[in-house]
Amino acid sequence: MTATDPALTALANGWAALYLLHGRIETRIERALQTEHDLSVREYSLLDVLSRQHDGEGGHLQMKQVADAVVLSQSATTRLVTRLEERGLLSRYLCPTDRRGIYTDVTEAGLELLEQARPTNDTAFSQALEEAAENPGLAPLVAAVEAMNATHPLPVPAQEP
C-alpha cells in the first residue's frame, strides 16, 4: 500500500470525518453543559456512568472500569472523581468484600444535577447532529449514529421513589 493508494486515502478521509463529527458534537455539548449546569462533558459522562450502577451482582464499577467507560486514563478519572467529590456530587467508600477496592457513588446532589443536565445534553447532541447532517461529508456518519441509537439506545437509569 502506498501513500497515494485510494484505499488508504479513503480510510484517512473517513477518520478525519469521524474526528470532525466528534469534535463538533463534543464542543456543542460542552458549551451547553458549562453554560447551563457548570459541568464539563467528562463530568457529565462520569455522573451518567456512575448513576447506572446498582446493588446487584457486578453492579458497582472499579476505577479501571469507570476509566474505560468515560474514555480517560485511570489517573485522569481519579482526578475527575476527586473534583466531583469535592463539589459534593460523588462519594467514595470501601468495597465491603475487598478492603483494597474503592467504589464511587453519585450523591443525591449529583443525581439531581444529572437529571437537570440530561435534557441539556440530549438537546445539544441532537442539535449538533442536525447541523452536521447538513454537511455532505458528515451526513453518512450522522445517519450511522442515528441508526445505532435507534437499535441500541442507552438505558436511562430508573428513578428511586
DSSP for 96-144 reads SS-TT-EEEEE-HHHHHHHHHHHHHHHHHHHHHHHHHHTSTTTHHHHHH
What's the number of domains the chain is made of?
1
- The rounded distance, in Å, linking the Cα atoms of 16 and 45 is 24
Neighbours of 39 (CB within 10 A): 26
Which residue's entry shows cell 444529572?
A: 114
pLDDT tens across 140-154, in order?
999 999 999 888 776
Q: What is the CATH number of the domain that holds 26?
A: 1.10.10.10
pLDDT tens across 100-117, in order?
778 899 999 999 999 999
Is 1 part of any domain? no
Is 160 part of any domain? no
How big is the chain by its Cα radius of gyration, in Å? Answer: 19
Is 73 part of any domain? yes
Q: What is the mean pLDDT of the chain?
A: 89
pTM: predicted TM-score of the whole model, two decimal places = 0.84
Is 66 part of any domain? yes
Q: List the domain range (segments joined by +) for residue 141.
A: 13-151
pLDDT tens across 12-48, in order?
888 899 999 999 999 999 999 999 999 999 999 999 9
- The rounded distance, in Å, linking the Cα atoms of 92 and 153 is 29
Is 19 part of any domain? yes
Residue 57 phi/psi, 5° resolution?
Answer: -55, 125
Taking the CA of residue 100 as centre, how many other CA atoms within 13 Å lie in the half-sphere pointing to its CB?
A: 0
Nearest to 49 by CA among 125, 124, 103: 103
